[in-house]
Amino acid sequence: MAEINVWDVLRRPRVTEKGTRLAEQGKYVFEVHPDANKHQIKAAVERAWPSVSVVKINVMNMPGKRRRWRRWQAQLPDWKKAIVTLVEGQRIELFES
């Protein structure tokens, strides 16, 4: 497997109602590169925000949803989700503002 650049691992934060509730507990949700593993996700988070330390990472493969436009159907692509747990008391300011 080819090495993924650290800056390509984190695609975007997932800001949802559930993610907001998790952020209050110190857990943050990201969409990540489909080939990224837990070690690469941890390195990417700690490099993007040097003041935080990652304790735990949960990773899930999310199936793409089916969408309909009038009489046509389409399948959205599958994606990978990571829930990153930080050390107690640490926060990522991106989600707080």
Domain count, the chain: 1
Domain range holding 43?
6-87
Whether residue 58 lies inside any domain: the answer is yes
Q: Which amino acid is at 19?
A: G
Q: What are phi and psi of 67, to 5 degrees?
A: -125, 150
Number of H helices, E strands in the chain: 4, 6
Per-residue model confidence (pLDDT) at position 3: 81
Tens-digit pLDDT profile for residues 73-86: 999 999 999 999 99
The CATH number linked to 51 is 3.30.70.330
pLDDT at 2: 64
* Residue 71 falls inside a structural domain: yes
Identify the segments of the chain with pLDDT beneath 50. Answer: none
Q: Answer yes or no: pTM beyond 0.85.
A: yes
